């Protein structure tokens, strides 16, 4: 346990004017209140608040935040009351402690409706005083550092919540170091085998290449000395989870990842930053498309830096970040820099953003979302994505998430512009609406009177604002049509069980399903957001029939008529989670193909045989087959490890076929039974991480396709 004197010294190191007496009093009060309480590890409970306070001293935060950390569990877990804390430490600290207590009680990983409600409370607490979330993040960080003392099931719940909510939130606030540590600690719990595999590959790489970081640091120092530039250089290997995520997004194995080393160069001035950039690019070849200037276009949380990636020593890619000392301080603490101290002076950093303005910009659009699902989507899209900066034709800067399209740009300008969009120009060239916008591009939206959003835009848009505006417009356009269609579906379902869908019955169903009125019920039914059997069962639960009896029967694939059967195409073996289409066959019913299956080219001139289908979530059978094409090292025990890994991921091997044998490698086909695309993706990533797996891909075999001439 850190003694009170040591904690005070940690604070005094950056704030000589600290109120030592109040910190000591809070320490003694917390120690007294938590006396007799112990953590799962067996340690005295008060070791936790002290460690949380110590984490916050690393960010050089003010006395109120440090004291809040020491007391953050007293109101919740001890006999201390809000009034007592306010009397002894003041209203500001009492409000902060109470805010952290309320955040602790939020179940952010609960059902969607509850989760949306709790996210609103989270943002409300943040908007009152952002220091509440700073203490909560430090609290979660220490809990994750000591998570091994908890039950395995509890570890998984906490780790998933950390990965989904707290780590992205720390990143959005600019506290990148905390995000990386939270992600890696959660990764260690959620996928210990994957992390261990990354670590093994790292050790192997270091044995093969030696200390790359030390050599590249020396190279950079030499070049800067030649140019007469003073700067500090920090090099590091990226965290295991960061590497794992790159393997996912780039669909590459570890051996093909190149930019796994990062370097930060901290200079004395903005001018030196750009001089250093010139030195780096003159000495090493810049990688196209990997340059970002966040000095001229800062992020909304105050982050400023120049990012570039170059081909360094031995052709190995390295990422380089260049910034000044003040920029570096904000990059380390993010929005928290507003409360940080240096030499006893608070908030001197010119790059520290106003927390109130930052949280207002983050939350202003969420207040308009009424639907829980839409609200959650908007929150997660806006919080958890990096940004690109683009320009209007008049030169105004527009910030959008990475991967944004002209549709997102149009709605970012104004909903009216988005609804009327018919086309776009990027850098004066006409482009499709699904084009991804890149940093620094100029975007012009072409509009037309009378144009309305298309349903396909939902697949194109990436921002919560655009998606919710499109959905709202589509609902308004289709409401009347959906109501009519919904009534016909309801009428058929009620007649099937010998009942009539009177206004009173539909009103009762709407009430039972917690919808506003019967029109809302019918509209959701007509738009396939609700099933007819659910409506019938809401009013007449005793008439719930066996699966398949109602008109709106539960089927694995939606879009088939009642008499049509289906089978998966052997050429592409589509899985739940993939976009699919059906091709009708005489005697075979409907054959379902993945939308990107090459076999579909044979049917381009037979449009009458195409059916628009999609998987019904939760209604497909437990397993479907898929085929993996692997090349593995020809060493003892390799195949056994591969098979064991597949079993560990709850996948079953139904067949195994060797297609090529060489002295140094095998090539084989493994037929596995899986739940869906997510299951397949998870398994392939785990196999890619294995050092003995040279290549892996999903097999698509057009030669196994059914003939195209068998018309129904």
Backbone angles phi, psi at 195, to 5 degrees: -65, -40
Residues 423 and 451: their CA atoms lie apart, in Å, by 11
**Beta-strand relationship, 589-594 and 580-585:** antiparallel
Per-residue DSSP letters for 535-598? Answer: HHHHH-GGG---TT-STT---SEES--TT--EEE-TTT---TTS-EEEEEETTTEEEEEETT-G
| Residue 523 host element (H or E) | helix 518-526
For 137, the token pair is 């993040």
Respond yes or no: is residue 386 known to be catalytic.
Answer: no
Write a three-state SS string for 8-58.
Answer: HHHHHCCCCCCCHHHHHHHHHHHHHHCCCCECCCCCECCHHHHHHHHHHHC
Residues 299 and 327: their CA atoms lie apart, in Å, by 12
The alpha carbon dihedral of 522, 526, 529, 530 has a sign of positive
Residue ranges with strand state E in 595-649: 610-615, 624-633
For 187, the token pair is 């990764």
Residues 494 and 334: their CA atoms lie apart, in Å, by 58
Catalytic residue among 25, 43, 76, 92: 76
Catalytic residue among 20, 43, 58, 77: 77
For 693, the token pair is 């797996």
- 187-192 long-range contacts (CB < 8 A, ≥24 apart) are 187/163, 187/240, 187/241, 187/244, 189/147, 189/155, 189/156, 189/158, 189/159, 190/156, 190/159, 190/160, 190/163, 191/244, 191/686
Count the neighbouring beta carbons within 10 Å of the beta carbon of residue 11.
24
CA distances from 348 to 295, 353, 358 (A): 18, 11, 18
Residues 666 and 631: their CA atoms lie apart, in Å, by 6
Residue 276: CA count within 13 A, CB half-sphere: 30
Q: Dihedral through CA 544, CA 550, CA 552, CA 554, nearest 10?
A: 70
Residues 600 and 216: their CA atoms lie apart, in Å, by 51
Which of 61, 51, 26 is closest to 140 using CA atoms?
Answer: 51
As beta bridge partners, residue 660 has: 667
As beta bridge partners, residue 317 has: 311
Per-residue DSSP letters for 84-106? Answer: HHHHHH-HHHHHHHHHHHHHHT-
Count the neighbouring beta carbons within 10 Å of the beta carbon of residue 593.
27
In contact, 610 and 583? CB cutoff 8 Å: yes
Backbone angles phi, psi at 173, to 5 degrees: -85, 0
Respond yes or no: is residue 76 known to be catalytic.
Answer: yes
Residues labelled catalytic: 76-77
């Amino acid at each position: 346990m850190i003694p009170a004197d040591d904690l005070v010294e940690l604070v005094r190191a950056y704030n000589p004017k600290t109120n030592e007496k109040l910190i000591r009093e809070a320490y003694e009060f917390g120690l007294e209140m938590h006396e007799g309480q112990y953590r799962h590890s067996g340690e005295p409970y008060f070791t936790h608040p002290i460690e949380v306070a110590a984490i916050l001293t690393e960010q050089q935060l003010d006395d109120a935040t440090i004291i809040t950390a020491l007391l953050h569990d007293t109101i919740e877990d001890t006999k201390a009351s809000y009034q007592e804390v306010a009397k002894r430490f003041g209203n500001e600290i009492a409000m902060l402690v109470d805010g952290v207590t309320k955040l602790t009680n939020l179940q952010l990983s609960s059902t969607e409706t509850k989760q949306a409600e709790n996210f609103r409370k989270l943002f409300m607490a943040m908007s009152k005083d952002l220091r509440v979330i700073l203490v909560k993040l430090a609290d979660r960080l220490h809990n994750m550092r000591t998570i091994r003392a908890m039950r395995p099931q509890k570890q998984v719940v906490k780790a998933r919540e950390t990965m989904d909510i707290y780590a992205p939130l720390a990143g959005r606030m600019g506290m990148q170091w905390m995000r990386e540590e939270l992600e890696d600690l959660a990764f260690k719990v959620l996928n210990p085998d994957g992390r261990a595999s990354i670590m093994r590959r790292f050790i192997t790489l270091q044995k093969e290449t030696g200390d790359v970081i030390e050599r590249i640091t020396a190279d950079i120092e030499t070049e800067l000395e030649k140019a007469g530039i003073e700067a500090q250089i920090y090099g590091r290997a990226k965290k295991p989870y960061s590497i794992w995520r790159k393997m996912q997004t780039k669909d590459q194995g570890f051996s093909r990842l190149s930019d796994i080393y990062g370097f930060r160069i901290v200079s004395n001035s903005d001018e030196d930053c750009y001089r250093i950039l010139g030195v780096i690019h003159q000495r090493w070849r810049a990688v196209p498309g990997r340059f970002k200037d966040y000095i001229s276009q800062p992020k909304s949380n105050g982050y400023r830096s120049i990012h570039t990636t170059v081909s360094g020593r031995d052709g190995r890619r390295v990422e380089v970040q260049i910034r000044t000392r003040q920029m570096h301080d904000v990059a380390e603490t993010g929005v928290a820099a507003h409360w940080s101290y240096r030499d006893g002076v608070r908030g001197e950093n010119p790059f520290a953003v106003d927390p109130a303005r930052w949280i207002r910009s983050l939350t202003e659009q969420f207040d308009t979302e009424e639907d829980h699902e839409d609200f959650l989507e908007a929150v997660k899209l806006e919080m958890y994505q990096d940004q690109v900066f683009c320009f209007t034709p008049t030169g105004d800067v527009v910030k959008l998430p990475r991967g944004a399209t002209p549709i997102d740009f149009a709605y970012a300008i104004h909903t009216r512009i988005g609804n009327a969009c018919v086309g776009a120009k990027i850098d004066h060239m006409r482009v499709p609406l699904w084009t991804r916008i890149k940093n620094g591009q100029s975007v012009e939206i072409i509009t037309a009177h009378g144009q309305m959003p298309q349903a396909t835009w939902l697949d194109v848009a990436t921002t919560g604002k655009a998606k919710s505006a499109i959905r709202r417009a589509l609902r308004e356009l289709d409401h009347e049509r959906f109501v009519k269609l919904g009534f016909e579906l309801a009428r058929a379902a009620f007649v099937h069980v010998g009942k009539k869908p009177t206004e009173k019955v539909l009103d009762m169903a709407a009430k039972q399903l917690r919808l506003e009125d019967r029109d809302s019920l019918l509209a959701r039914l007509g738009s396939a957001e609700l099933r007819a059997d659910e409506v019938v069962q809401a009013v007449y639960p005793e008439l719930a029939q066996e699966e398949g009896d109602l008109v709106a029967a539960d089927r694995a694939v939606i879009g088939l008529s009642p008499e049509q059967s289906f089978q998966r195409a052997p050429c592409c073996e589509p899985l739940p989670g993939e976009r699919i289409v059906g091709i009708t066959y005489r005697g075979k019913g409907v054959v379902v193909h993945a939308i990107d299956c090459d076999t579909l080219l044979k049917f381009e001139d037979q449009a009458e045989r195409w059916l628009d289908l999609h998987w019904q979530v939760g209604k497909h059978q437990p397993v479907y087959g898929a085929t993996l094409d692997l090349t593995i090292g020809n060493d003892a025990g390799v195949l056994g490890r591969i098979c064991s890994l597949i079993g560990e991921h709850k996948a079953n091997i139904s067949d195994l076929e060797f297609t090529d044998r060489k002295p140094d490698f095998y090539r084989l086909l493994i037929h596995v039974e899986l739940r869906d695309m997510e299951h397949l993706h998870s398994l392939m990533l785990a196999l890619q991480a294995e050092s003995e797996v040279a290549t892996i891909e999903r097999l698509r075999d057009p030669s196994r396709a059914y003939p195209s001439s068998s018309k129904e």
